[in-house]
Structure 1
Amino acid sequence: MSISRIALVTGAASGIGAAIATRLAADGASVALLARRHDRLEKVAAQIAEAGGTALVVPADVTSEQSVAEAADLVQNRLGDLDLLVNNAGLMQLIPFGDAPAADWRRLVDVNLSGVINVTHAFLPALKRSAETRTSDLINVSSLAAQQFLPGMATYGASKAGVSYLTRALRAELANEGIRVTSLEPGMIDGTELADSFPAELQSMVDDLRTTLPAVPVTEVADLIAYVVSRPRNVNLPHLIIQPSKEI
């Protein structure tokens, strides 16, 4: 399929974000890549350019309103009005609630939930302008953990539940403005860095679980996003879950 969109993907330096950005660019979108790691963004952008796509590197911290505002100005000046925003940046920590400093939990919520709020707020005016004449999409990547209650994932699950609720509420607010809003809740995905910070014993358990299920490749998530944004302008897929067939 071929799309002509101006897109921004957060958390685009690796994993799901990089896969989504690469797929959108391959389909014809001009893609802004937003994340903190400039060097990793440059590598993703180089791969997109080598394949014939268009990518703009946008180093920014989603937890900083000023950083995000500067990113919005850069994208506006270089690409024009955004018509596709994918909020994907996120952190995961698997540890009993009382065993981590409160600062760790604040950081997780800042990235996973406040980051979505900051980025959406900064780019919403462009999405609204785009919706006047063409398809405009807001996609928030939440998690299946938003619906499940798992030991060690209290704050992570709470932050993602906030993203899922925010997305549904925004759809109610923005539907009449012509902006399509989608919440995507992935289960076990292969090719992400979310579990890299786990203790060694938990990392081994996660690796075994990914093999047993097996986990869904990040390219499948990217394919799903590409399908969602390619639907006719009057069609919205508001809530999606993608997970391994064997995952309960």
Structure 2
Amino acid sequence: MTTVLETEELRKQFGELVAVDGVSLAIDDADITSIIGPNGAGKTTFYNLLTGVLKPTAGTVRLKGDDGLVDVTGAPPHEVAKAGLSRSYQITNIFEGLTVRENVRIARISRDGSRMDFLSRADSDPDMEADVGEILTLTGLTDIAETPCDQLSHGQKRTVEIALALAIDPNVFLMDEPTAGMNPTETTEIVSLIRELNEEIDATFVVTEHDMDVVRDISDRIVVLADGAVLADGTPTEVLNDERVTEAYLGSEGQ
């Protein structure tokens, strides 16, 4: 196993409020890791520290690079993305008026650091189109590639967002509530897609999710945050049977 993402004593404080309190984690490439916790546990702040949206009060963030782990602590989001960390959000973040293919193409252009030249056609680049086509195939979007995104279902839009995140060739892919707002069929489909992608591409998935059935189904490892700190860390069986987790997170839902 190879460590692809590492935090050391990561801390974020807003005045007197400590939102993330000394979190040290090493994420390995062999696992799908779910990060869970009750509302206010610090999950969103932790993600924002990883992606450069927020700068930490203390601690470090390191990402896998060509020559080992690279310190990206406090780097702006575009530099963190370039270093190999991609993120999908709980709320879809796509260009509604463009087609699925056009959305993926724009994301691919951003990965290459290219400037869109409106005097030429980006779709005339055969290498670009081959890359876009591969991403559409991987995510099962080929049949709706020419469909404007404002005509898609919620589940299809979430799949498009996954395709956009994959377009930057991430080493680590953070997924924020990937099944939020989905019906049972859409949830099953997105979980299957994540599993398939985890087998087929060289990227490590880290997921936050409230649906415990999804967490049980998709995770090799679960990390529980509570009050900004790591409460539990282990396999789904170990963590979801931990009395501290039941008390802090699952509550009356039990197991």
Give yes or no for TM over 0.5. Answer: no
Structure with the greater alpha carbon radius of gyration: 2
Higher relative contact order (CA 8 A, sep 6+): 2
User: Higher strand share goes to which structure?
Assistant: 2
User: Higher helix share goes to which structure?
Assistant: 1
TM-score by length of 2: 0.28
